Amino acid sequence: MVDLKRQSELREAIELLYFAYRAFTARADHILEHHGLGRAHHRILYFVGRHPDIAIHTLLDTLKISKQALNAPLRRLVAEGLVSVETATHDHRTKLLRLTKTGHALESQLTTSQTEQLAEVFSKVGRDAEKDWRQVMARLADSTKTL
């Protein structure tokens, strides 16, 4: 009967992941709505903000999507002046992506809403619990490679 209880606990963990992730993305989705943007744009803004001068193929590798899937949202972000494109000096084939001032403002707004949400939770549970959480999440993220 112990095994049944454990199975139930593991099912609860599945639901925790589902509901926590949904709650986590809800705020950013709400902000994006006002700009008529979606999660695809958010991911691009985030990773370009995190890694200035990122090349397009690096972005594709990170997001694990096809270049056709990246094309439309990226083109829109460039057209709307949120992301700038520049040809690399060392390799004229590759293009480097950066956030513009406007792009950075939006990215900052999105990221801040999420870091505040996380900071609030972390402050309630304490540093040790935060560290444990990070450890579990890091191992989980890693378990793709064990697939």
69 lines the binding site for a second copy (CB under 8 A): no
| Closer residue to a second copy, CB minimum distance, 87 or 112 | 112
**CA contacts within 13 A on the Cβ side of 65:** 15
φ, ψ of residue 126 in degrees (nearest 5): 90, 165
Q: Does the protein bind a second copy through residue 11 (CB under 8 A)?
A: yes
Q: Which is nearer to a second copy, 51 or 95 (CB)?
A: 51
Retrieve residue 68's tokens: 């056709």
Q: Is 137 in the site for a second copy (CB under 8 A)?
A: yes
Residues 4 and 26: their CA atoms lie apart, in Å, by: 33
- Please count the helices (runs of H) and the strands (runs of E) in the chain: 6, 3
User: Which x/- pattern over 3-42 shows residues binding DNA (rule: CB under 7 A)?
Assistant: ---------------------------------xxxxxx-
111 binds a second copy (CB under 8 A): yes
